[in-house]
Structure formats: structure tokens, C-alpha cells
Amino acid sequence: MVIGGGGREHALAWQIARSSRVEKVFVAPGNAGTALIAENLDILPTDIKTLGKIAQDRGIELVIVGPEIPLALGIVDYFDSQGIPVFGPTKVAAQIESSKVFARNLMVKYHIPCPRGKIFSSYVEAHTYLEQQRLPVVVKADGLAAGKGVIIANSKEQAAKTLDGIMKAKCFGSAGDKVIIDEYLSGREVSLIAFTDGKTVLPMVPACDYKKVWDNDQGPNTGGMGSYSPPEFFPAELIEKATKDILLPAVRAMASEGISYKGVLYAGLMLTDGEFSVLEFNCRFGDPETQAILPLLKSDFVDILLAVIQGNLNQIKIEWRSGACVGVVMASAGYPGNYKKGLPIRGLNEVGKDLSVFHAGTRLGNDGIVYTNGGRVLSLVGTGKNVAEAREKVYSDISKIYFEGCQYRKDIALREVI
């Protein structure tokens, strides 16, 4: 059973369904895409007890959790207590994402490279400190804020307004009880995501995502408008170095704090002149990175998930295909602001067979038609022998899929080919 209903979860369910060990896949709540390869269960990812009950009633032998919120709420602890095999970190381990202050304290204590910054729980002290910082300056809410809790301020006024919003108006609720004020780093960002059983760390192929809604990184932030893997600027030596200097030390640091970290660990890295800095840790697979990573996995996905749960990841070798993936998100008009739902999607079967269409905000109508049901609607992923070929495949077919007002970025992975 895969928990979640986005493009990431469709990609997870798709890889799981390909395993020779798997008879049947459930997705809760899933979408119109997962309905084609699995049975959707109409249960919210936060309804942990009901999910546990259905897992037991249906004899589900493996659960994998997509989104961060159920992890932060302790879904893994609950399933463990019920004897249901589950892939993901426990509630205390998920703090590496659910509290930026926790993650920052851990990095500072264990010398894991991160931006220079300071933590505040007093608004007055934060305000005074902010006044003295060079611009741009980065203000981060401590808790989960659906990817909106980090603001890069280009003026003192914007910085003060941001701080007021987070700490006084509590626009993110208690997630804004504390803030981190960071120096601004420039460079290239990469997401390095690894499997870990708390001892061994095996990285996936790296990926880059695009957070801004419009081309050339213009407009507001979104949940992600596209991704590609692997970036040329992050070769095998850097993967090895980042595993040795960042991912392994983080897992060991957690162990030193008495926390066994199992599942996936996602490091959002900034690469500046060959040196890394950790911008964030996440306790789960990235979205939309996963859609561009999993098609490159050659090994049996379920073997890896079970090795993590059983604590014998050291006995596994993960194989990746050579080649590359480029994923472009098709979003509703108006996203990330207000948008319409319920628009029919045409042409889903007209794209090339070697493209993957991962669904996110979609719903299968009783009439058999697929309708839009969210802001990010689909990820169209092309696989090729290199980024240029993968990119060409996606963009030559994307206009075959259509829904009213559909918007997508035209520049995903463009920097790799010019």
C-alpha cells in the first residue's frame, strides 16, 4: 500500500507494481493514474488508524509512505506497534524535516556543512538581528509549511514583513514559533536522495527540481514544475563525496542522538565552487524528483524497500540504468493560486509509449473520462540515452495532452543542453 495521491505516489506505485514479488498494490487515496495499476482506497494519508485497520483487514504486507505529514504525525510508529511492515522514518526521525531548528542544531553539532544562520524564538531578537544582515537574507519558519516556509528577502522591508507574518500573524501557525535567519547562498541546487536502514546509505541518482511556476525561474513558488536526472554538473565523484560528507554523517548523527533513521533521506544541497551546503533535509522521496529518478532504477524496488525495513541494506547492490529522465509538470491555469477543477483531460493515450504519464491531481469520472482535480495535474516523463534525448521526447509529445488552460514550463533541463 502506497500512502498519498500525487505524482510521486503514482511513480512509487508503478515501480512497486513492476516487482516480481508483488501481487497487488493499493494506493490511499491515489488518483486516476494509480487506479490503472492499483486499487485506490478512499482514505486520507492523515487518517492513520483507518489506514492501519485496512492494512490489517486486507493482509497488506508492505506499506510505503509518500508525504511528510503522516510521517511527522507518527504513522510509522503506529504501524510498527501494530506489526504492519512499513517503510519510512519514525516520528522522532522525521523531525529532520518537520523541524528546521532540529535539523540545523544537528548539522551544527555534527559539523555537517550548512548555511551560516541563527535560530530565534523571540520576535524582538529576530527583528533586531534581521536589521543587521546583508541582503538578500533568508527567513525560514521552523515547522512544516507545505514548501512555503522559506522566504528570500531582497529588502529590509520585505524581510521585516516576512518575519511579522511568520512570528506575529502566525501565517503558518505554530510552525512559526521559531525561525532561522540564514545567509543567502548562491550556486546550483541538487536533490540527493538515499535509501538508508540506519547504518548503510545508498544514494539514488541525483536530480534537480524547478520550484518557480514560470520559465527562467519567474513567478511564485510551487510544489515543483518539473525535474530531471541526472544533472551533468553532479557526477559520480560528487555523489560519493556528498554521501561521505553529508548523508552518512547525518544518519550517524541521528544514531548518536539515539534515533535510528530508516527510510529515505533527502538532502537539498547547494553546490558553490565545488563545496556543498545543506539547505534542507527531507524525510521522504522528493516530488517531482521521484518521477524522474524511479524510471532509471534497474534493481527490484521492493527488494530495496524490504532491505531497509529489515536492516540489511549492506547486502544489496542497487543498479541504475545509464541515460536520463526529464519530467515536466502540467498544471491547472492559475496554479499556484486559485484554479478550476473538473476539466476533462484529452489525449492521455496519444503520447509515445516510452513516455511515462504520472498523474497527480486527476480523478476518474463515472463516464470513464479523466478530469483535473488539483493544481499539479500530470508529470510527463521522458527517458532517453541522455538529458537532451529525454527532453526532446517530452516536449515533442506534450501538446498531445490537453485540458483547458493547461500550463507547463518550456525550460525544464534546458540548461543541460545549451
Q: Would you list the DSSP string of 265-300?
A: EEEEEEEETTEEEEEEEESS--TTHHHHHGGGB-S-
Q: Within 192-251, which residues bind ligand GLY (CB under 6 A)?
A: 209, 224
* Comparison of 2 and 41: residue with beta carbon closer to ligand GLY: 2
Stretch that binds ligand AMP, among 72-80, 182-190, 231-239, 252-260 (CB under 6 A): 182-190
In whole angstroms, the minimum distance from the beta carbon of 104 to ligand GLY comes to 17
**327 beta partners:** 227, 381
Q: Which of 7, 203, 286, 382 binds ligand GLY (CB under 6 A)?
A: 286
* Comparison of 19 and 379: residue with beta carbon closer to ligand GLY: 379
Stretch that binds ligand GLY, among 195-203, 282-290, 310-318, 404-412 (CB under 6 A): 282-290
**Four-CA torsion 247, 282, 93, 29, nearest 10 degrees:** -140
Of these partners, ligand GLY, ligand AMP, none, which one is at the site of residue 282 (CB under 5 to 8 Å by kind)?
A: ligand GLY
User: Residue 366, class by beta-carbon neighbours within 10 Å (0-12 exposed, 13-18 middle, 19+ buried)?
Assistant: exposed
C-alpha 94/C-alpha 90 separation (Å) is 6
Position 289 contacts ligand AMP (CB under 6 A): no
Q: Which residue, among 358, 354, 343, 362, has the nearest Cα to 396 in the 3D structure?
A: 354
Position 142 contacts ligand GLY (CB under 6 A): no
Q: Which of 33, 115, 206, 382 binds ligand AMP (CB under 6 A)?
A: 115
User: Residue 155, class by beta-carbon neighbours within 10 Å (0-12 exposed, 13-18 middle, 19+ buried)?
Assistant: exposed
Q: Which of 67, 70, 224, 268 binds ligand AMP (CB under 6 A)?
A: 268
Stretch that binds ligand AMP, among 181-189, 303-311, 324-332, 354-362 (CB under 6 A): 181-189
* Comparison of 68 and 197: residue with beta carbon closer to ligand AMP: 68
Q: Within 144-163, which residues bind ligand AMP (CB under 6 A)?
A: 150, 152
Region class of 198: left (phi > 0), else alpha (psi between -120 and 50), else beta:
left
In whole angstroms, the minimum distance from the beta carbon of 282 to ligand AMP comes to 8
> Which of 207-241 are b and which e, b meaning 16 or more Cβ less than 10 Å from the residue's Cβ?
bbbbebbeeeeeeebbbbbbbbbbbeebeeebbee
C-alpha 148/C-alpha 68 separation (Å) is 14
Position 113 contacts ligand AMP (CB under 6 A): no
* Comparison of 70 and 224: residue with beta carbon closer to ligand GLY: 224
C-alpha 104/C-alpha 100 separation (Å) is 6
Residue 45 DSSP symbol: T
Q: Which residues bind ligand AMP (CB under 6 A)?
A: 115, 138, 140, 150, 152, 182, 184-185, 189, 268, 279-280
Q: Which residues bind ligand GLY (CB under 6 A)?
A: 209, 224, 282, 286-287, 289
